[in-house]
Structure 1
Amino acid sequence: MSSLAFADVRREGRDDVHYRARAFGPDAKLHTLLIVNISPHGLMARCDACFEVGDRIRIQMPVIGVMVAEIRWSLGGRLGAQFETAMDLAAYYELIAGMMRGK
């Protein structure tokens, strides 16, 4: 029996957060995401909705407004999404500060 290894290769680290955000799915229905971690390029969140890989969602973020993201994976109430446009670091740090303040 063979053993498969999975390497989690990312361009950068992620910041752990615990932030509830509103998101609109491809059907324009409102969903609530619990963002668990985030980077300038994407995020991982928990959500009751079932999204498919390749779905595009719009996420309302504090400070910076709406971010469009593509679902890269979805499994057991969790999802990973990559932002359509990466955030510059100044905007990213403002976003993290806004999430920590609960805006």
Structure 2
Amino acid sequence: MSYQFSSIVRATAVDTDRRTSDRDEVHYRARAFGPDAQPQTLLIVNISPHGLMARCEHPFAEGDRLRVMLPVAGAVPAEIRWALGGRIGVSFDHAVDLASYYELLAQMLKAG
């Protein structure tokens, strides 16, 4: 019986955080273009090669598509995975390659 319980707990813990990599803390203002193609300002607070979390005033919704303008990487197509209280979690369509990511991160940290 305890085996079944521990399996359920393990499965739940895995399901709660599906990130594929750790995030780097930043404080970087970026432009994004949403479904209406209007420019929006994002304050990126953490980022990884696979996505980011940002604060924004625009009421984006889960599933909205974005193009996020990032240093080095340019316009990165992405999907909003969650939106809550002025914050959004964004998943990039394709991971930023590591060499570009480290250069991008260096520029973000220098600017912030």
TM-score, length of structure 1 as denominator length: 0.89
CA distance in 1 between counterparts of 2:51 and 2:59 reads: 18
Q: Check conservation: 2:73, 2:96, Cα contact below 8 A.
A: no
Deviations 1:34-59 (A, max 9, x none): 00000000000000001111111111
Match in the other structure for 1:99: 108
Q: Where does the alignment leave 5 or more consecutive residues of structure 1 unmatched?
A: none
**1:20 is aligned to 2:21:** no
TM-score, length of structure 2 as denominator length: 0.83
For the aligned residue pairs, the C-alpha RMSD in angstroms reads: 1.8
Match in the other structure for 1:68: 77
Structure number with higher helix proportion: 2
Match in the other structure for 1:37: 46
Deviations 1:46-81 (A, max 9, x none): 000011111111111112211111000000000001
Match in the other structure for 2:89: 80
Q: Where does the alignment leave 5 or more consecutive residues of structure 2 unmatched?
A: 1-12
Match in the other structure for 1:11: 20
Identity %: 63
